[in-house]
Amino acid sequence: MKILAISGSLRKVSSNTQLLRACLRLTPPGVEMTLYDALGDVPPFNPDIDDLDNGIAPPGVLALREALRASDALLISSPEYAHGVSGVMKNALDWLVGSGEMSSRPTALINASPRSLHAHGQLMEVLRTVTFTEVIEGLLTVPLAGRKTDEASLAADPDVAPVLVKTLEALVQAVRNTAPPEPLTLSPIGVR
């Protein structure tokens, strides 16, 4: 099982990115998680340069789409800017609306700040629209201010780590629930 993790922040020292790095440390056995670090390569959304029929789009968009196609689920952690979804996150999602990589893909959303309720709600709505499925919500209500926010500290924090683990477990279960059933094979003694 493969999970693609995307931070909606381009900052080098981002608490949202650190949360995702902590998730990398807490990933359950049998699950591979990759942190997508090329969101800054996705240009401003312009449908005039997106030829879905022929698979032609800017390289940063094609790379994002390919990363999603190679994954079974998506985990997003994104900040709030001016009571809204971060521009780079919304821009990336706009590129994915018509291409189908998000359709029915189990998605979970975590958040580093309890003050990010406006963006969180907006992002939940956009994700429900793009994925056509329920989005798993792992909102962290523990303020990270005054805490060590490096990935190792977050992965060991008794208030933060359980939220991350439960979110990952819910995401893994969602993938299992959406996986197509194994085909039946007939044998001389019936169906196996």
The answer to whether 80 touches 115, Cβ cutoff 8 Å, is yes
Q: Which domain, by its residues, includes 143? A: 2-177
**Quick one: average pLDDT of 116-124?**
84
CA 138 to chain centre: 12
Total domains in the chain come to 1
- Is residue 185 one of the residues assigned to a domain? no
- Is residue 191 one of the residues assigned to a domain? no
Instruction: Give the tens place of pLDDT for each residue, 78-117.
Output: 988 899 999 999 999 999 998 989 888 999 998 877 677 7
CATH number of the domain within which 51 lies: 3.40.50.360
The answer to whether 22 touches 151, Cβ cutoff 8 Å, is yes
Tokens 């962290």 belong to residue: 140
Higher pLDDT: 131 or 79? It is: 79
- Is residue 33 one of the residues assigned to a domain? yes
